[in-house]
Structures are given as structure tokens and as C-alpha cells.
A and B are shown apart, each in its own frame.
Chain A
Amino acid sequence: MADLASAAGRRWHKPPLIKSPLLRWGLGLGVALYLAFAFGTTEVNWERVADGIPRGVRFISAFFPPDFVSRWDEIVDGIAESLWMTVISTVVGIALSVPIGLGAARNLAPRPVYYFCRGVLAVSRSFQEIIIAIFCVKLFGFGPFAGFVTLSFATIGFYGKLLAEDIEDMDPAQAEAVRATGAGWFQWLNYAVQPQVLPRMIGLGLYRLDINFRESAVVGIVGAGGIGATLTTAFDRYEFGSAAAILLIIIAIVMAVEYTSGYVRKWVQ
């Protein structure tokens, strides 16, 4: 009873995220100072911004009306090449990333294999597609093959890492139960691991397909083939109407892939 009485009126505060008040206030002050300096030293030439606005408006208005007709054959070729590049690089990239992803899952692979596969993933992820594309164009010459290699390589980093993480997050009880039946390693993968990760991996595969299509337009700019090449050519020739048409087609295809993948993801759950 005495305890209850003394408990009345006792104050309570949510414990702070960072315990030490010195560190807490120090960090806050540091961030504020850095931001102040960063903004203070950013030079904005307002005159040039003002000059740029009408130029931008002229540039954008040059896109209208989009011209689908005069370069239609090139556009079709470019899109076909991009789609080809997208599909096979996604398939090949995923096929290669499955063994690497399995090796990069801490709960599956022995330590040396784990570090090796994590290393491969880290290398693949540390370079932006453009940089890999420039490198591949130098290696294999201009054309869609360089783009295909680029996108496959980038897919390995993306898909392998997410696969490894999904495997690490799986329910160990289900995996243990299948192991206890005397299943072999591949049977165990097929019965315990695959059912747990498959729905998410199908969704991510479609997502990567979508990314690869968009990237196929970008890597074309540095000479790796596809619709990107058609797009730069259009810009180089000041054919903004055709460029607008290409952009609209890219948007339409990305949206189509997006909606289908959303639908498929719901269906596989």
C-alpha cells in the first residue's frame, strides 16, 4: 500500500535515443552547423537560372508534337533491340545470381564461399550501370552485346544480394524440419528454402525486368545499343519530335511492365 501511495505523481519521460546528453546535443549542433555552412557556400547564380528558364521552355516545347512517323523504322528497331537486351540480360543475370545468392547467404554457405560471393555482389553493386557500360563498350565494341553484358552484370548484384538476404530471413524452423527428415542438400533447397523465397523472388525478377528496360535506354547513350542509341541519335540530329516519341514509348512500356508485375506479384503470394 505504501508503495502505491508513493508511486502517485511519479514523473515519466520516454528514454532518449542517445543516452549521453553531451553526445546528443553535440551531434545535433554538428549537423546544424554543417548544414548552415553547406547552404552558405552553395553558389547560385540567379541570373543564369533566370536565363535558363525561357531556354528550358523552348526546349520542352520543341518536343511537341511528338513525331512518331519520320523515324518510325529506327524507333521500332531500337525498341526491339532494347526489349531483346532486357529480356535476355534479366534471364541470364538471374540465372547467374542464383548460385551467387545462395553462396552469399550466411545461413547456407561455409565462410570462405560466403565471403567470395559477397565480394562478387559488392563489386557488381558498387558500379553504376553507365560505368560498366562504358567499360563493356570498350571491351566488346559498340552495340547491344555490350549492353547485354552490362545489364546482366548489374542484375547479378541486385538480384543476388536480395536473394541472399531473403534466404537469411527465412524461417529456420521450416528449414530445420526438412533437414531432420534426412533430405539431401538439393532436396532441402527445393523443399525448405525455395517455397519460402520464391514468391518474393518472382516479384523482384519482374521488378528487375522493369529496371533493365529503363537502364537499356540509358546504356544506349554511351554506345551500348538499344533504344538509348536511337534516342541520342535523335537528340544529336535535333529531331526533338522523334525524341519525344521515343520517350513516350519508353514511359508506356515501363508502365505496362509495372502493372503486369504488380498483378503477378499479388497472384504468386
Chain B
Amino acid sequence: MLRLEKLEKRYRTGDLALKSVDLEVPDGQIMALIGPSGAGKSTLIRCINRLVEPTGGKVSLSGLELTGLGAGQLRRARRRMGMIFQEYALVERLTVMENVLSGRLGYVGFWRSYFRKFPQSDVDEAFRLLGRVGLDHMVDKRADELSGGQRQRVGICRALAQDPELLLVDEPTASLDPKTSRQIMRLVCELCKERGLSAIINIHDVMLAQMFAERIVGLKLGEIVYDGPPDGLTADVLTEIYGEEDWEATIRKVEDEGEEDGEALDAALKHDHQAAILDRDRMAGNT
């Protein structure tokens, strides 16, 4: 379980990005974090693995307080938190396999990683993950040769290679087309379910958040203004989070999403088992 207590971040410019945020994410829960640009979503998830250093409050993961850790302990703790990034953040000149194996860096020594001599079990797991997302035929391609959706799948493999208990996902679909966005969100959620991971997903797209998350947290100017189930996002709530706007279209689309997106894709959502297989074939085949 992840627990944030009175988490606060003030940037050196004086901007208060997070104002005393309290939040608990139980094991296995997929939580979407929505809110306008500048609400502090990115800061929040970066304060969890301390890519951004919080200026106040506590973060603890399964009882371990992360905020007080020294450099070495922090590195060990980061292994337990996989992160998936906006614009993929793959190391472009490394191969797909090197990118996935970089998820194991926290577990192997420097020289092993330098000579790319990872333990066979790590390599096996990397192949298994790449197979799961349909990219096992692209192992030795350089990351910058892949399409956006493929890159994000490599990013997912890298995060999962860490064998994490929590996924921190920062705008995973920000630069993807609508169809790929859904595939990626579905993949992240399926993999979380398979492995019993909890996840915090920062996302701009309210509809995607409602489709895939079990719980939605709305952040506005560094404060939580909504915390509840996806269908609790009424026009009033959205106005509270984002400000005045006509929200009818956003809300209606979610309700009859089955008819509007009649593609095999979304039918598959309802038959989860088939979907996994279908998805894998499709991803391996035509992307």
C-alpha cells in the first residue's frame, strides 16, 4: 500500500505545486489522476519515487518510508516502483532489449551491466515481457526505429522488468493516436491485474481515465478536489476540477461508449480473456 501524508512540494521559484496531499492507494488498485495542466500531477508521481524531492510530508510504500532514505536505500526502493513516461523516454540509441534490461539495473552490479551480461533469468523475463506485448521479434532494433505505440510498449516492459509493486504512469498516451492510446491503457491495466500491481496513472483524457481506472482522483492547483469512482465524475465535478465548460459531450460518450466505438477493439474489452490473445496477435502482427 502506498500512503502519502501531507505531501508538499514547493519549487525553488516559490510555486507551491502540492499543498498537503493525503492519499492512500491500496495494493492492486488502478487509480487515475486527472486535472488540468499545472495541477501538480507530474510533480505528485515524481515525489513518490523522489525524482522530484518533496519539501514536506511523508511517502511510504508497504510500510517503508521513502522520504527519509539515503541515496543507496533510495536506489533500492526505486526498484519497487516502475515508471512509464510521457513520450516514452526510451534511450533512443540503445536497442529494445537494452532498454528493457535497463529495468534490471538496480539489481545487477556495474560491470555486469556494462558488459551487458545480465543473469539469464533477467534475459528470460525480458523476452517473456517483450513476447507478452508482441515485440519479441524486434529485440535488436534500436529504440528510435519503433513507432510510438511500440515504443510505449517497450517502456512498459522496462517498468515491469523491475518487478515492481507499484507503477507510476505519467501521461502514457500523450503523444499517441486514439486507438493506440486505448491499446496502451488496456495493456497497462491488464498487466497490472495479471501481476497484482497498483498503479497511479496521470492522464489528460478524462474518457480514457473513466474507461480503465477503478478510482479517479482529481487534482487542482496542488489539492485533491475529487476522489471517487469513475462514474461519479459528473459535470459539476469536472467543472470543479477543470473549470467552467460544457461537459455534456464528455460524460455522454462514456455512457454509450459501446455503440460509438463499435470496433473489435472495444468489444474485446468486454471479453477480457479473448482480448488478451487478440491483442497480442494484433500487436505482433500489424503494428
Contacts and interface: CB of A to CB of B under 8 A. Distances in A.
Interface of A: 171, 173-174, 176-184, 186-188, 190-192, 195-196, 198-199
A184 B105 contact: yes
A197 to B, nearest CB: 10
Given A176-B51, A181-B105, A187 B110 contact: yes
Contacts of A196: 91-93
Interface string B89-102: 11111100010001
Given A174-B91, A178-B102, A191-B102, A184 B83 contact: no
A197 B110 CA distance: 20
Nearest to A179: B51
A190 B113 CA distance: 9
Contacts of B51: 176, 179-180
Interface of B: 49, 51, 75-79, 81, 83, 85-87, 89-94, 98, 102-107, 110, 113-114, 155, 158, 162, 168
12 contacts: A173-B89, A176-B85, A177-B90, A177-B91, A177-B155, A180-B83, A181-B103, A181-B162, A186-B110, A186-B114, A191-B98, A191-B102
Contacts of B81: 180
Given A173-B89, A199-B93, A181 B114 contact: no
Given A176-B85, A182-B79, A183-B105, 12 more contacts: A173-B85, A173-B86, A178-B91, A182-B75, A183-B113, A184-B110, A190-B110, A191-B91, A191-B94, A191-B102, A191-B113, A195-B94
Residue in A178, A180, A190 whose Cβ sees the most chain B Cβ within 10 Å: A180
B70 to A, nearest CB: 14
B91 A181 contact: no
A195 B93 contact: yes
Contacts, number: 84
A173 B162 CA distance: 18
Contact of B79 (A177, A181, A199): A181
Nearest to A173: B89
B90 A182 contact: no
A177 B79 CA distance: 12
A181 B159 CA distance: 7
Nearest to A172: B89
Contacts of A173: 85-87, 89
B104 to A, nearest CB: 8
Given A186-B110, A190-B114, A178 B105 contact: yes
A169 to B, nearest CB: 14
Contacts of B77: 182
Contacts of B87: 173
B111 to A, nearest CB: 10
B94 A183 contact: no
Nearest to B79: A182
A182 B74 CA distance: 8
Contacts of A184: 75, 105-106, 110
A174 B90 contact: yes
